[in-house]
Amino acid sequence: MSLATHTPPVSARRRWASAVVLSASLLVITMDMTILNIAIPDMAAALRPTSDQLLWIVDVYSLVLAGLLVSMSAVGDRWGRKRMLLTGYAVFGGASVLVLLAGTAETTIALRAALGVGGAMIMPTTLSMIRTVFADPAERARALGLWAAVSGLGAAVGPIVGGLLLEYFSWQAAFLVNVPLMVLALVAGALILPESRSSRPGRWDVVGASLSLVGMVLLVWALKRFAKEESLAVLDGWIALVAAGAALTLFVVRCLRRPDPLLDMRLFTSRQFTAGVVAALGSTFAIAAAFLLLAQWMQLVEGLGPIQTGVRLLPVAAAGTLASLLAPWLAQRTGARSVLAGGLAVAGVGLLVLFLVPGDLTYVHVLLALCLVGAGIGSLAIGSAMIMSGSPDDKAGNAAAIEETSYDLGNVLGVAILGSLAALFYRAGLNDLGMFESSAADAARESLGSAVAIADRLALPDLAARASAVFTDSMRMTSLFGGLMMLAVGIAVFVITPKGTDINRQQH
C-alpha cells in the first residue's frame, strides 16, 4: 500500500461490508433526487410558492452540490473521509427531519440547500473511500461495479417510492423517508468503515475553494437559466456564464501553479483517467434529456401515472445493474478499453432506436431502447475503475470530486442543451395551429403539459392529439442527437484510452 494515504489494513469481510454501506448510502442520495420530481405538485399545492421560489426549491440542491463537491472532497482528505461521510449522513438526515417544520417556500429552499451540503459530503466520499479501502485494483473494480449498479437503481426506484408515499402521505414523506435510512447508514458506517486520510494534503487554499464554489454555482445556474427560458438570448445567463468561466479559469491556473493544489489538474495527464472522465461527462449529457422527455411522454402521451411510469422505466435500471456487475469480469477478458467504448456505443444505439423505429412509437420500442441504454451505461463502472486506478492514492478525493462533478455537469448540460433543442422542435412543429383559437394555440406551444391541460378544459381532443404527436417527434429527434453524441463519446474514449489499459493494475 502506498504511504501516501493513512488507511489501516482491512479484512476482506470488512472491505465488502464497507462497500455495501457506501453503495447503500449513495442509493439514498440518488433516490432522493428523483423522489422530489414526484412530490413537486403536492408541495406546490401546500406551500403555494411563486414560480421563482418553485424553481429555487428544485435547483438549489444541485447548485449547492456542484459548488461544494471539490471543497468537501479536499476537506475529507485532510479531516478524515469516514468523519466527513458520517457528518454528511447527519446533515442529510437532520435536514430531512426539519421538513416537518417547513411551512413556507423559503424554509423549504433552505432545507434543500442543507440537503445539497450533505449530498456534497456523501457523494464523492463514497467513491474515494472505495478507492482507499480496496487496495487491490481488481477487487476495487468489482466494488465499483456494485457502487455503480446501486447508484443507477436508486435513480430508477425513486419515482416508484415517491409515488407510493404520496399515495398515502403528504409531500413531506418524500423527505422523511431519508431519516431512517440515514440513521442506519450512520450506525453502520460508524461500526464498519475504516478511517482514511491523505498524509500529504497540502495547505488549505481559501482562495481556490472560493473560486471553485463561485465558478461552479454560477456555471450550473447559467445553464439552468438557459434551459428554463429554452433560449440562449438571456442576458443574465450570459453574465453568469462569463463570470463562471473567469472564476473557473482562475481556479485552474491557481491549481496548476501551486505545489499543493486544492484540485490536482495534473491528473488529466493520465490518458485513462481522462478517458473515464470523458465517458462520465459525455454519457450523462447524451441521456439526461432523453430520460426526462421519455418520462413526460409516458405520462402525457401514453396517459400513465407516476408509479406506472416508474415501473416502465425500471428495465433501464435492471439492465444497468446487471451490466455494472458483469463489466469488471468482461474487462478482464476483453480489456477495459473495448468494454467502456463498446458499452457507450450500445447505449448510443439504444437512443437511436427511438428515432429509427418505423411508424408509431410504442412501449415495445421504448423497452428495447431502455434495455440497450441500461446495458451500455453499465460499462461506466469501468470508467470509474479507470479514473481510480489512473490516480495516485493520495489523490483519491480529487479523483472522486472530478468524477462526481463530471456526472453533475453532464446532467445539467444535457437538460439545458438537448432539452432546449427538444423544445425548439416542439414549437416549430406547432407553428400551424390556425384552426384553433389563438389563446389555445399559444398555450399549446408553451409545453405539452399546457397543451393537454387546455385541450381538456376546452374539449379540444384534436389539439391534444396534435401536440402529443409533435412532442413524440421532438423526443425522437432529440434521441437522434443524443445517440450520435453517445457514439461520438464512445469513439473518443476508445481513442483516448491507451491500448492495453488494465484496471487491475494501479497507476502510481
Q: In this predicted model, what pLDDT tens digit does every residue of 269-278 receive, in sequence order?
A: 889 999 999 9
Average pLDDT over residues 386-398: 82
Q: Using CA atoms, how far apart are residues 175 and 158, in angstroms rounded to an integer? A: 12
Q: Which helix (H) or strand (E) holds 240?
A: helix 235-257
Worst-scoring range by mean pLDDT, 24-28, 34-38, 86-90, 451-455? 34-38
Residue-level pLDDT at 214: 93
Examine the pLDDT at 88 and tell me if it is beyond 90.
yes
Q: What is the pLDDT of residue 78?
A: 84
Could you tell me the CATH number of the domain that includes residue 59?
1.20.1250.20
Residue 270: exposure state from Cβ atoms within 10 A (0-12, 13-18, ≥19):
buried
How far is it, in rounded angstroms, from Cα 56 to Cα 221? 10
Contact 262/391 with Cβ under 8 angstroms?
A: no
Give every CB contact of residue 350 below 8 A, 6+ residues apart in sequence: 368, 369, 370, 371, 372, 373, 374, 375, 376, 483
Between the ranges 174-183, 225-234, 339-348, where is the mean pLDDT highest? 339-348
What band does 490 get if pLDDT is binned at 50, 70 and 90?
Answer: very high
List of residues 6+ apart from 354 with CB closer than 8 A: 290, 361, 365, 366, 369, 475, 476, 479, 483
Same domain, 198 and 138: yes
Q: Are residues 78 and 92 in the same domain?
A: yes
251 and 102 within one domain: no
User: 6: which strand partners?
Assistant: 197
pLDDT-derived band at 157, boundaries 50, 70, 90: confident
Domain count for the chain, please give it. Answer: 3
pLDDT band at 97 (very low <50, low <70, confident <90, very high): very high
The predicted model gives 15-19 an average pLDDT of 90
Residue 245 scores a pLDDT above 80:
yes
Q: What is the mean pLDDT of residues 334-352?
A: 94
If asked whether residues 197 and 317 sit together in one domain, one would say no
Amino acid at 323: A
What's the pLDDT score for residue 7? 55
Pairwise pLDDT comparison (3 vs 252), residue with the higher score: 252
Residues 211 and 194 in one domain: no
Give the length of the chain.
508
Work out the mean pLDDT of the chain and round it to a whole number.
85
Residue 154 pLDDT exceeds 70 = yes
In a shared domain, residues 168 and 295: no
Instruction: Round to whole Å and give the CA distance between 41 and 327.
Output: 39
Q: Is the dihedral of CA 296, 360, 476, 327 positive or negative?
A: positive
What's the average model confidence in pLDDT over 423-434? 78
pLDDT of residue 48: 84
Domain boundary among 161, 181, 204: 204
pLDDT 10s digits, 285-310: 888 888 888 888 888 888 887 778 87
Domain boundary among 204, 219, 236: 204
* pLDDT at residue 438, as a whole number: 67
The reply to whether 193 and 123 lie within a common domain is yes
Residues 6+ apart with CB under 8 A from 8: 194, 195
First to last CA, the chain: 11
Per-residue confidence band for 1, with pLDDT thresholds at 50, 70 and 90? very low
Looking at the DSSP bridge assignments, the partners of residue 5 are 198
Sign of the Cα torsion 473, 478, 480, 481 reads: positive
Percent of the chain whose predicted confidence (pLDDT) is above 90: 28
* Beta carbons within 10 angstroms of residue 1's beta carbon: 12
Which of 204, 219, 238 terminates a domain? The answer is 204
Residue 237 and residue 285 in one domain: no
Domain that holds residue 444: 263-508
The residues with which 197 forms a beta bridge, in sequence order, are 6
Residue showing cell 431519516:
179
85 and 195 part of one domain: yes
For 378-403, what is the mean pLDDT? 85
The beta-strand segments (E) located in 188-330 are 197-198
- Same domain, residue pair 342 and 466: yes
| 424 burial level (CB within 10 Å; 0-12, 13-18, 19+) | middle
CA angle 396, 400, 405 (to 5 degrees): 150
pLDDT of residue 105 exceeding 90: no
Same domain assignment for residues 283 and 253:
no
Instruction: Note whether 112 and 248 are same-domain residues.
Output: no
